[in-house]
Structure formats: C-alpha cells, structure tokens
Amino acid sequence: MHLRPTFAAPFLTTLGLLVGSAAYAQVPISTAVAGDSLSLETTIRSVLDANPSINALQEEVNRAQASLAETRTYLKPVVNGNASYTRIDPVVKLPFDGQVLQFAPNNNYDVHVAAQYTVLDMGRTRANIDLSRSRIASATDQIAVTRRDLAFSAAQSYYGILFAREAIRVQDAQIASLLQHQREMEKRVEGGVSTSFDVTTTKVRIAQAQNTKIDLQNQLQNQEVQLARLLHRPESEVVPVRGRFEYNPQAVDVAAALAAGSENRPEVKLAKDAEQTAIAQQRVVEASNRPSLNVLGQAGAKNGYILPNIERMRFNTVLGAQLNVPIYDGNRNKTQRVGAQSAVKGAQARTQDTQEQVRADVLQAVNNMQASTARYDNSQVQIGQATDALTRAKSRYRYGVGNNLDVLDAETQLAQSRLSRLQAIYNYTIGQYQLRRATGEQIWEAVK
C-alpha cells in the first residue's frame, strides 16, 4: 500500500478497519514506554483469561456432559421404594356362624420396593448416547474457535498499537525535519536569499504532517480502547504493551498449509461434528419406532390377604414383563426420518463448503504475505531513492540551483516510503497470523 501526502489515507483506512468505532482512551497507552508490561504472549493470554464468553461456552460443554450422564442412566435399572395407606369406608361385612366376616380392612397398608429394567430397546439408548457425545464434541470445538478468534483479535490490537507508535515516530521525524527546514528558510529570508512564500509553503507541509500525526494518534488511542475491551478493563485504565515491530519473513509450504487447514481447522471439526450430530439424530429417530422389552419386580408387605386375619402384614412379590411394539403412529416416524435424512445431507454439504472455505482462506493468507513481501522490498528501494533525492534536493537548494518545493516533495516522499515500509511489515505480520488461523494453528501456543 503506497501512502500519499493527503493524511496517509490508505494506512489510516486499514488501521481504522481493525479498531472499528472505538471511543477515546482517557489515559493513552502511548504515554507508557519505559513501563511497558504486556508482551504479545501475555496480551493474548490475558485476553483469553478475561473473556466471559469462554466461560459461557464451557458451561455449554458441562451441560452437554450432564445430558450424556443422564442418558447413560437409561442403561441401568430403576428402583423405587413406596409406602401407601388407604382408609376404606364402608367395607363388605357378612354374618357367618355367629361372627361377622370382613373381606377387606378399613385401614390398608402397602410397603414395597419396585425395580424396572429395560432389557431390550433395539439401540434407542445407545443412539441417544452417541447424540450426546456428538453435542459435547461440538461444544468443545466451539470453544477452540472462540479462543482462536480472540487470540487473533488480541494479536491485531497488539501489533496495531506497535504499528501506530512506529508510524507516529516517522511523522515526528518528518515534522522535525520540516521544522529545521523552516528555520533555514527564515534565515534565508532574513538574508534576502529567499522569499516568504517558501516559508509559507513549508508551514503548509508542516501542518499537513501534523494533521497526519493527529489522525495516527487517534487511531492509536482507538487501538488501545479496543485492547482494553478485549481485556475487559475500563478504557481509562492504562494497558501498556511492549515489543519490537520487526519484519521476519518465513518460507511457506502451501501444500502443507492446505493439508494442515483441512485437518486442524476448528471450523472443519465443527462441520464434521454437525454432520455426526445429524447422523446420530437420524439413528435416534430410526430407533424410536422399534419394540422395547421391560422387566419389573416388586417385593414388600401389605395387609388384607387372608381371612379372618386381614389386618396382618404379609410379605408378597410381583414379577412381570412388558413388551411395547409400535404399530401405527400416523406416519409420524416416517416423516421424522425424512427430516433427519435431509439434515444429514445438509450437514455433509456444509462440511464440503467449509473445506473449500479453508482452502480459500489459506491461499488468501499466502497471497497477502507474498504481496506484503513485495511491497516491503519495493519500499526499501523507495526509501533509498527518497533519501538520495532529499540529499540532492537540499544540496541543489543550498547552492541556489533548486527550489523549495523540490525539498518539500522529497521530505514528504521519504516519510511516505517509511510509512509504506511500516504498512508492509504490519500487513505481513498480520498475514502470518491469518495463515495460522487458516491452518488451525493455536495462536496462543505459537507465540511462546
């Protein structure tokens, strides 16, 4: 990206897109240089530790694990203890041989323990267990996606701050050089060698450079606010970062990157999780219309059995079996199967689309890095040429064979070239993290 004299618009646009509409930081981090405290690694880890969304997703995992534990209980018998009392009035009484026979007690007591166990459900419980496991995998992989995105955002803000600081230093150097040139112009005016027009023109360039610096400072403050938001700290709290803004090119194996992305990218895992969940749901639907066999047993004591001592509590047992065979459900299960099959096909299509998106993300990241490398090399050449042009323009002006505009243009071009180099370094650095994100590499582990 080549920066132009009009407030370095492309640079500011790029930086602005990274921070969004952030507010003004009351205590700017840029004031803390010697006291910097956050490296890239600690910045990323602090962001990951501070973000509540990860805790919320972890609770989703815990809930899915609880659902799995509940589903597994259907493989075990159910045992219940029951005790009941019933008062019946009136009861049947008949006179017999001078006595009154009572066929049922007024006070009925029943105490027993009952157990029920599903002997056969044709895979229904196992299908529900597989479904719960799939949901756990999805919730776990969603945590990985969120952590990855947060780490990338933290790296963007971190390098955005370092980038803005370096860009401000470039502007400070340009302003200082222009001020020095202005002083020389004023001396030449006093000596009658130059006109006040040259001084005025120089002041205009200084004002333009100062405006660019103001915009850069605003972008830096917005980056600081963005980092404070990621850290969930008040905007007024100083959150300094430390580090060096360097160009560290690395060779990229595109084939290996594509293979790593297809294998490790959490979005791919999520898509496959969704596919497995749809398949598990389909199996649950298929199993829900199958026969089931339950056995039950009961042992306890109750009264009201044998005349004439119907009040006596006696031990009793009950054994039984229950076979449930679905016959007709109004085609409900058939309709559910059609829907479940469509869900599986849709999940498979999304998996394929995700694989293609991963491939595109990897290639785009590689292209961005290659373009940034070319721009860095080009800016190096431009800096050399601009430095030589500035030296020559000053010499020509000093000896009266050049004009002031040549010097000002050379000063501006040198600053633009330096900003262009910074932009290339920033783009390349972010491109490296884009590639790591595209290949599924854990960014918080890569920065150790």
Q: Which among 25, 10, 7, 2 has a CA at the least distance from the CA of 215?
A: 7
What residues form DSSP beta bridges with 314?
302
Contact by Cβ (8 Å): 335, 285: no
**What is the C-alpha separation between 216 and 407, in angstroms, rounded?**
24
Task: Kindly report the number of other CB atoms within 10 A of residue 212's CB atom.
Answer: 26
Q: Which among 339, 336, 288, 325 has a CA at the least distance from the CA of 123?
A: 288
Q: Which among 225, 229, 266, 241 has a CA at the least distance from the CA of 50?
A: 229
- Which long-range contacts does 170-174 make (Cβ < 8 Å, 24+ apart)? 170/415, 170/418, 170/419, 170/422, 171/209, 171/212, 171/213, 171/216, 171/415, 172/213, 173/415, 173/418, 174/209, 174/411, 174/412, 174/414, 174/415
**What is the C-alpha separation between 399 and 170, in angstroms, rounded?**
28
**Token duo for residue 131:** 């479904």
Q: Which among 30, 358, 23, 446 has a CA at the least distance from the CA of 213?
A: 30
Q: What does the pLDDT profile of the chain (448 residues) look like in tens digits?
A: 333 333 343 444 444 433 333 332 333 333 333 334 678 888 888 888 888 888 888 898 999 999 999 989 988 999 999 999 999 988 888 887 777 778 888 899 999 999 999 998 888 888 899 889 998 999 998 998 898 889 999 899 999 999 999 999 999 999 999 998 888 888 888 887 777 888 888 899 999 999 999 999 999 989 888 888 888 887 666 567 788 878 888 899 999 999 999 888 989 999 999 999 999 999 999 888 889 999 999 999 999 887 678 888 989 999 999 999 999 888 989 999 999 999 999 999 999 999 999 999 999 999 999 999 999 999 999 999 999 999 999 888 887 777 888 888 998 999 999 999 999 999 999 999 999 999 988 776 655 5
**What is the C-alpha separation between 27 and 221, in angstroms, rounded?**
9
Task: Kindly report the number of other CB atoms within 10 A of residue 270's CB atom.
Answer: 21
**Token duo for residue 323:** 């076979």
Total residue count of the chain as it appears in this document: 448
Is residue 240 reached through a cis peptide bond, with omega within 30 degrees of 0 on the bond before it?
no
Three-state secondary structure call for residue 250: coil
Which is it for strands 78-87 and 107-120: parallel, antiparallel or unpaired?
antiparallel
